[in-house]
Structure 1
């Protein structure tokens, strides 16, 4: 396995043993059918990572209800019987080629820029995200001011996540990842500048974590003990890429300590550079903070296609797995290349939305 044997040994993740330390990171693809159905081009996209040697693939964000959760047009869903059936050929194809597949469950909240079910967005408070919508994902202009969620809206969010977890099980996924990162709904609740609620879901950090924590337990109960349950956490947001937690490492300790008391099987952290200091010069990386304060298995993400960087995180104990995003887009066979000592291809920005219909199995 070249000079990096630590990247290729087996390791438990929840009830499953992964064949190596490489996962594919969730990436927005906007390649589903208009009604949220998964399709054959998505199957080709996901299958190539399994064929390329990744131990597991985490799906793009999947919306969880027919209310306010959808974030992008042509985003896939896990709401209906049709959605469930449309995912089965994909989960089977990935598993048939030796990898696990995990469904990332996502509610976009106020950061939604395309929803066939509602023209209105909804968030913790009536505060629009910073910045402008992403043009390469079909958006334009500033984000609209969302409506403040009622208690009923919050209950609907919880039901949606739990139902989507059960649907993921029926669709053949090996696990689910709760999207609590990148400025989407659960991250909005966590962020004081976006959450000015005066009820039990606002105010203190513990209150702002309440919905996220409740959803973890609801999802675990719905999915069952034989599925992997994880969460993704970040500081930066799609709409505010330079955002940092206001109290740095102290916030990290509070957030990850709370998550460590839940039935999660892993925490997936993402940063611009997965090995860099996250809270100022000389501070811990986000992965190291998640590992130290939670005690849970950690998946690290952030330009870790360089096996030297990935190896340093695993060898130091700061992470248990690494996930590749743009590195996987450029190298869907990255684990095989690294194991044979081959060079990796550089990522080109035009690959971010490479027409998935043109992907062929031979492109490995």
Structure 2
């Protein structure tokens, strides 16, 4: 975990422990960053994470999925983003913004304004026209350029957890009959157009990450594997960030039944692209399991909330385990969480003691 990690492009990572993008619901209603955002980013950057990634930042106004979500869809958000990048750089960490759009699950639109790959009555959403799909692609690319202007080392394309890019990849949610629907290649087309566009538009050393998840929202393992294999083979990304709910997830059916998902991905040829994972990593031992499986880095999520200096704790104590749940609001305040962040954590069953 102490070994530095080079990426194909951009700065080297000081160790193998990276801060996962964490929803915190503490930005202004217009998507600009707050003092709480700056304090949280600084508390993480100074505590040993080799890369510090922002929470999911929406690339279009209608992509907002969380109350108090950070935005990266207009230039009014640039000053706050720039300050966040400066804070991370000052503490010696590599910086990244996670690029996001909620799609049909964006819950802050007026009726009829939620959009997705296809109309979906359950979400009161309509399908995007081809012109709107191209605009969405361009807005992801423009958001990456905005992250570059703000001084970030890179950006991660969020194609996980049932947000808009995984909605396009889903064989159940995507019922399109054009070049963005039908076959796996077509359903993955938007993801790769965005990656290609960012690589072409941004400077040569701008780092691109891609996040993929495995569960829910019509995700088929074969489709995720296709995207992963192609992204690794083409080499236009710098790291692939796998986000299963649990790194111990074992495939229950199909060609890989009985195998851990992370072991399947670890065997894929990946050239210089780096591969990492998150998923219930709450101890030093669990972090080691990811690296022992042959992956290159570990994304720290809930453990970073429970113990802000998780990297320091792990590197000092090979038997370290995060505090057991639930924890008090006072404890989370000590870990650097704002009142809004703590209120969000109350939505997680058994996390905050009442």
Q: Which residue of 1 aligns with 2:308?
A: 332
Q: Which residue of 1 aligns with 2:291?
A: 314
The equivalent position to 2:163 in structure 1, one of 159, 184, 187, is 184
Q: Contact (CA 8 Å) 1:270, 1:300: kept in 2 or not?
A: yes
Structure 2, unmatched stretches of 5+, are 342-354
Q: Which residue of 2 aligns with 1:219?
A: 198
User: Is 1:263 aligned to residue 236 of structure 2?
Assistant: yes
- 1-side partners of 2:189 and 2:321: how far apart? 45
Q: CA deviation at 1:347?
A: 4.7
Q: Which residue of 2 aligns with 1:151?
A: 130
- 2-side partners of 1:22 and 1:223: how far apart? 26
Seen in structure 2, the aligned counterparts of structure 1 residues 64 and 21 have a Cα distance that, compared at 3 Å, is same
Range 219-228 or range 326-335, more displaced = 219-228
Alignment of 1:125-140 (within 5 A): 125-128=118-121
Q: SS in structure 2 opposite 1:87?
A: helix
User: Is 1:272 aligned to residue 245 of structure 2?
Assistant: yes
Q: SS in structure 1 opposite 2:6?
A: strand
How many residues of Structure 1 are paired with residues of Structure 2 in the alignment? Answer: 329
The equivalent position to 1:15 in structure 2, one of 10, 19, 25, is 10
The equivalent position to 1:49 in structure 2, one of 20, 35, 44, is 44
Range 223-232 or range 199-208, more displaced = 223-232
Q: Over residues 5-30 of structure 1, what are the superposed CA-to-partner deviations in whole Å (9 max), with x where a residue is unaligned?
A: xx111111232211111011112111
Q: Over residues 149-173 of structure 1, what are the superposed CA-to-partner deviations in whole Å (9 max), with x where a residue is unaligned?
A: 0011101101101110010011111
- 1-side partners of 2:251 and 2:43: how far apart? 33
After TM superposition, what 4+ stretches of structure 1 lie above 6 angstroms from structure 2?
349-354
- 2-side partners of 1:262 and 1:28: how far apart? 28
Q: Over residues 66-115 of structure 1, what are the superposed CA-to-partner deviations in whole Å (9 max), with x where a residue is unaligned?
A: 3x322223211112222111112211112211211210000111011124
Seen in structure 2, the aligned counterparts of structure 1 residues 353 and 186 have a Cα distance that, compared at 3 Å, is farther
Seen in structure 2, the aligned counterparts of structure 1 residues 234 and 349 have a Cα distance that, compared at 3 Å, is farther
User: For the aligned residues, what is the CA RMSD?
Assistant: 2.4
Q: Which residue of 2 aligns with 1:293?
A: 268
Structure 1, unmatched stretches of 5+, are 1-6, 129-142, 360-364
Seen in structure 2, the aligned counterparts of structure 1 residues 215 and 48 have a Cα distance that, compared at 3 Å, is same
Q: Contact (CA 8 Å) 1:329, 1:347: kept in 2 or not?
A: no
Taking structure 1 as the reference length, the TM-score comes to: 0.84
Q: Which residue of 2 aligns with 1:135?
A: none
Q: Contact (CA 8 Å) 1:179, 1:231: kept in 2 or not?
A: yes
Taking structure 2 as the reference length, the TM-score comes to: 0.86
Q: Over residues 187-209 of structure 1, what are the superposed CA-to-partner deviations in whole Å (9 max), with x where a residue is unaligned?
A: 00000100010001110111100
- 2-side partners of 1:348 and 1:293: how far apart? 38
- 1-side partners of 2:209 and 2:47: how far apart? 23
Q: Contact (CA 8 Å) 1:105, 1:179: kept in 2 or not?
A: yes
